[in-house]
């Protein structure tokens, strides 16, 4: 199933945030720097695309945004142009495939865009996704332009709150902490799937910290690899992912393994009589994970260590 934010015509579960920001816009009080911060896969980028669509769609467009249903009409001109990456009032910066950081050249190209004459009088939006992946040089270049942007230019920054960003960037933005309850995540996933997720996934694999986007990606991965998620417990699924090396070329699966490992630690902690040893192993393991990510090292030895000590023990 396709959950690409730029192509999601329906916004689920985040209407309250949409209305709050739109109300600021209607009162001409919307700041030109907005930070949407929340868990990965909760719908922050989809929220941004829906807001942008409504605000920059032309008044004479026959297929306007549906404010009651929080829905974009597929025949909407703005939707088509953004989807095709040809809208003159929209500019996207995101982490490129297989790249670790958003590099400074991406920011420089965006600055050139902002300095060009506007195509029309409508607002121009710069959407920067995954800003936690900006490197120091990129952040410094971005700070210069966001402090004094050209007239009628708005920045919407998307932040995975599980990772830190520089306080100098946060302090310049109006921050919306985008949250969704566990039940809300399940309901949204069900609406996107048009199925009950509990019919598709073993209960042990449904973590409280999962989001609709994570659920959908997990199911897409399983279908692609002909894996029946109902057949796997948490332990068996972790062993499968580690033994088959699915994480080698799939960043999402690597993150899924880490999240499921965390869930396994919590389960072990609740049941163990030797809680101190579990806590010690947990902190040592995740310190190694952080270092592996920081220095771009292979996590294979760490996953094998976890499997031998906590899965096969």
- Same structural domain for residues 10 and 119? yes
Confirm whether 225 is domain-assigned.
Answer: no
Lookup result for tokens 């549906």: 66
CB 212 within 8 A of CB 12: yes
Q: What is the span of the domain harbouring residue 244?
A: 233-311
pTM, rounded to two decimals: 0.94
Are 254 and 306 in contact by the 8 Å Cβ rule? The answer is no
The answer to whether residue 302 is domain-embedded is yes
Residue 100 contacts residue 133 (beta carbons within 8 Å): yes
d(CA 247, CA 256): 9
Q: Are residue 57 and residue 141 in the same domain, yes or no? A: yes
- Residues 25 and 103 both lie in one domain: yes
Domain presence at residue 187: no
CATH of residue 67's domain is 3.40.50.300
Is residue 158 located within the same domain as residue 250?
no
And the tokens for 305?
A: 């260590």
Residue 213 lies inside a defined structural domain of this protein: no
> Locate tokens 């009651």: which residue?
68
Indicate the Cα dihedral angle 153, 158, 163, 166, nearest 10°.
Answer: 10
Domain membership flag for residue 159 = yes
Which DSSP string corresponds to 123-182?
A: -EEEEE--GGGB-HHHHHHHHHHHHSPPTTEEEEEEEETTS---HHHHTTSEEEE----H
Q: Which residues pair with 155 in a beta bridge?
A: 33, 126
Whole-Å CA distances, 47 to 9, 25, 171, 302: 10, 15, 22, 36
**Pairwise CA distance, residues 156 & 122, whole Å:** 16
Q: Are residues 293 and 157 in the same domain?
A: no
Q: What is the CA radius of gyration of the chain?
A: 21
Pairwise CA distance, residues 207 & 215, whole Å: 10
In a domain, 237, yes or no: yes
Count of structural domains within the chain: 2
DSSP class of 68? T
**Domain-located, residue 202:** no
CA atoms of 71 and 56, how far apart (whole Å): 15
Same domain for 279 and 133: no
| pLDDT tens across the length of the chain (313 residues) | 777 999 999 999 999 999 999 999 999 999 999 999 999 999 999 999 999 999 999 877 889 999 999 999 999 999 999 999 999 999 999 998 777 889 999 999 999 999 988 878 889 999 999 999 998 899 999 998 888 878 899 999 999 998 889 898 999 999 999 999 999 999 999 999 999 999 999 999 998 889 999 999 999 999 999 999 999 999 999 999 999 999 988 889 999 999 999 999 988 888 888 889 889 989 999 999 888 887 878 888 989 988 988 887 5
36 and 156, same domain (yes or no): yes
Residues forming beta bridges with residue 10, ordered by sequence position: 71
């Amino acid at each position: 199933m396709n959950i690409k934010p730029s192509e999601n015509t329906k916004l689920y579960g985040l209407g309250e945030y949409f209305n709050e920001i739109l109300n600021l816009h209607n009162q001409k009080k919307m700041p030109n720097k907005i930070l949407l911060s929340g868990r990965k896969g909760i719908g922050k980028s989809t929220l941004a695309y829906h807001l942008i669509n409504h605000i920059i769609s032309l008044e004479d467009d026959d297929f306007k945004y549906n404010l009651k249903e929080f829905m974009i009409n597929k025949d909407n001109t703005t939707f088509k142009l953004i989807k095709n990456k040809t809208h003159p009032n929209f500019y996207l910066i995101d982490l490129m495939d297989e790249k670790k950081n958003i590099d400074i050249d991406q920011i420089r190209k965006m600055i050139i865009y902002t300095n060009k004459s506007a195509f029309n009088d409508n607002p121009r939006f710069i959407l920067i996704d995954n800003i936690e992946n900006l490197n120091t040089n990129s952040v410094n270049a971005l700070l210069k332009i966001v402090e004094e942007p050209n007239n009628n230019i708005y920045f919407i920054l998307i932040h995975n709150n599980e990772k830190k960003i520089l306080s100098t960037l946060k302090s310049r933005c109006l921050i919306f902490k985008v949250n969704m309850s566990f039940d809300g995540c399940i309901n949204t996933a069900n609406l996107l799937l048009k199925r009950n997720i509990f019919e598709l996934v073993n209960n042990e694999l449904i973590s409280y910290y999962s989001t609709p986007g994570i659920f959908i990606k997990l199911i897409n991965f399983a279908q692609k690899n002909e894996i029946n998620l109902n057949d796997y417990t948490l332990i068996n699924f972790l062993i499968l992912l580690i033994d088959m090396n699915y994480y080698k070329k799939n960043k999402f699966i690597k993150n899924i393994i880490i999240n499921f490992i965390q869930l396994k630690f919590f389960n072990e902690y609740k049941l163990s009589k030797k809680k101190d040893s579990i806590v010690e192993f947990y902190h040592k393991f995740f310190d190694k994970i952080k270092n592996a990510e920081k220095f771009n090292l292979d996590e294979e030895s760490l996953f094998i260590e976890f499997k031998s000590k906590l899965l096969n023990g």
